[in-house]
Structure 1
Amino acid sequence: MRGWAVIGVLLAAAPAATALAGDAACHGTIYLTFDTGSQSQADLIAAVLNKHHVKATFFLASEKTVRGDYSLDPAWAPYWQARVAEGHAFGSHTFDHVYWLKDLPGGRMRVKPQFGAQAGKAQDWSAQQYCAEIRRVDTRFVELTGRHLDPLWRAPGGKTSANTLAAAKTCGYAHAGWAPAGFSGDETSSDTWPNKVLLDKALRDLRGGDIFMAHMGIWSRKDPWAPANLDPLITGLKQKGFCFATLRDHPDYKKHP
């Protein structure tokens, strides 16, 4: 991680290529979002966002990282504190990165946590249990940063259901997915979907109002997405007249309590 720290200092110190345009100059707004993952690209993502003066929305789960710890462990407090100070937005990605499997009667659901004590084991949860899982991230985030999450959540894999959406709504969280054109493709094989292909597709297809989703590191991708694509993606979108904002300013979420 030391190498990325050096890169972060250099990029943060470099003058921004283009100042963030005012709303009047924008031809549309793109909402960049990042889900936790291996965290191999965490420092680089922060540095590129700072370089371009772009604010994003981070969706947090306590996932195993390349450091051998977990992304919501106390060791990550300085990282998240710095992102809070920069003005980014934050939502829950469920604490143990819990995948929905199927809805059950009575508002219950079958789920499978990826991490934690029940990792890999199918569980039948009530709406209250699912809500508590979403809120676990908020509790930890307050412990790490002193700040609450924004009232947003994103289901792992983007897989929602009537029961999970209803459970989250009862505890005050609105689900934030992503636009079809906003799928970065960073979970795909880099042999089948090279970074250049993914970059060209995003620059061609993204439209104003779209939510874009990428991860803070994917274990399986041999050629990581962010080092090759994030900087030119932001540069290219700015050249097309787009501005950037967090989901706090998205029309579907900014009035959410």
Structure 2
Amino acid sequence: MAAGVLVALCLPVHASGSSTPAPQDCDKPVYLTFDTGHMGVADLVADVLRRHQVRVTFFAANETTQQGDGSLGTHWAPWWKARAQEGHRFASHTWDHTYWRGDLGAAADRSFRVRPSQGAHKDQTVTLSAAQYCAEIRKSSEWLRQTTGQAPLPLWRAPGGKTSPQLLQAAEACGFKHVGWSPAGFLGDELSSEKFSNAALLQQALARIRPGDVLLAHLGIWSRKDPWAPAVLEPLITGLQAKGFCFRTLDQHPDYRAWVQGHTAAAATARQP
């Protein structure tokens, strides 16, 4: 398979690598992130990460799961608590996995046309004000805080990576900076396994990933018949480590470090009595 064919099908968004070295013990960091999904491979992913002592950033939405009452429901709460104890970091993926579809209104009265894939308005196009969309982001963040006892990062990822400058500005105004993924960081677990085998996805990732890249995978994709994890995850980790890469969480990324530090400190001050 030509690597360019796969890249052309990817939908990269604005997070990318940086040449600025991070204050850490290797000069080739990458930032592995997972969005929620059906959670069918969540335990397998956790096992691989634990075995190789890799820390990642999870972006969480309350999605329908193969088992339990949703990825941010009571069934999966112990799973999230365990990941916090292992040193992973968390951020919001919106509560109802709410896709942006368009901007409405002027700056003073900004609103957005959206389409949630979960919740009461599943698969319906509705309008949310900027404050309502911020509440969508904040709800997942607060659930993670209350469930894990760990302060989530003041970051978020839009479902599908779909945003607009107006949406990004609205989210930043309420304390959340958007994180997409790097072009080479699209690991392909959303693609058809009939057209894009695990072996081809692994080969391309190992060939194209560069220091500073933000990598994207999921905790289960309904449409992929041959699951990407753990088939690709473990050899990807070991293959990158053999090439001198290390794995870091997004609070250490040079594009987000100052934002995280500033907003985390401000949030802690605001919570003081």
Same fold by TM (over 0.5)? yes
Which whole-Å deviations, capped at 9, do the CAs of 1:176-225 have from their partners, x for residues lacking one?
10000000111110010000000000000000000000000000000000
Q: What residue ranges of structure 1 are gaps of 5+ in the alignment?
A: 1-21
* 1:92 aligns to 2:92 (yes or no): yes
Q: Residue 120 of structure 1 is aligned with which of 120, 123, 141? A: 123
Aligned to 2:35: 35
Distance across 2 between alignment mates of 1:44 and 1:68: 17
Q: Which deviates more, 31-40 or 104-113?
A: 104-113
Q: 1:230 corresponds to which residue?
A: 233
> What is residue 196 of structure 1 aligned with on the other side?
199
Counterpart of 2:217?
214
Identity %: 55
TM-score for both structures, normalised by structure 1? 0.89
Gaps of 5+ in 2: 1-22, 264-273
* Equivalent residue number for residue 83 of structure 2: 83
2:247 corresponding residue in structure 1: 244
Correspondence for 2:104? 104
Report the 3-state secondary structure (helix = DSSP H, G, I; strand = E; otherwise coil) of the residue aligned with 1:226: coil
Contact 1:74 1:144 in 2 (8 A): no
Q: Is the 8 A contact 2:90 2:144 kept in 1?
A: no
Question: What is the count of residue pairs matched by the alignment?
Answer: 235
Q: C-alpha displacement at 1:27, in angstroms?
A: 4.2
| Partner SS, residue 94 of structure 1 | coil
Q: Per-residue deviation at 1:123?
A: 0.9
Contact 2:48 2:230 in 1 (8 A): no
Alignment partner, residue 12 of structure 2: none
Secondary structure of 1:202's aligned partner = helix
Separation (CA, whole Å) in 2 of partners of 1:148 and 1:166: 23
Cα distance in 1 between the residues matched to 2:174 and 2:88: 22
Partner SS for 2:131: helix
Deviation at 1:248, TM superposition (A): 0.6
CA RMSD between the two structures = 1.2
* Aligned amino acid, residue 245 of structure 1: R
Amino acid in the other structure paired with 1:158: G
Kept in 2, the 8 Å contact 1:109–1:163? The answer is: no
Question: Runs (4+) of structure 1 moved beyond 2 Å?
Answer: none
- State the match for 1:56 in structure 2: 56
Q: How far apart are 1:254 and its partner, in Å?
A: 1.0
Q: Deviations over 1:37-93 (max 9, x none)?
A: 010110011110111111000000000011042000022111000111111111100
Query: What do the CA deviations read for 1:106-135 (whole angstroms, capped 9, x no partner)?
Result: 221100111111111111111101101100
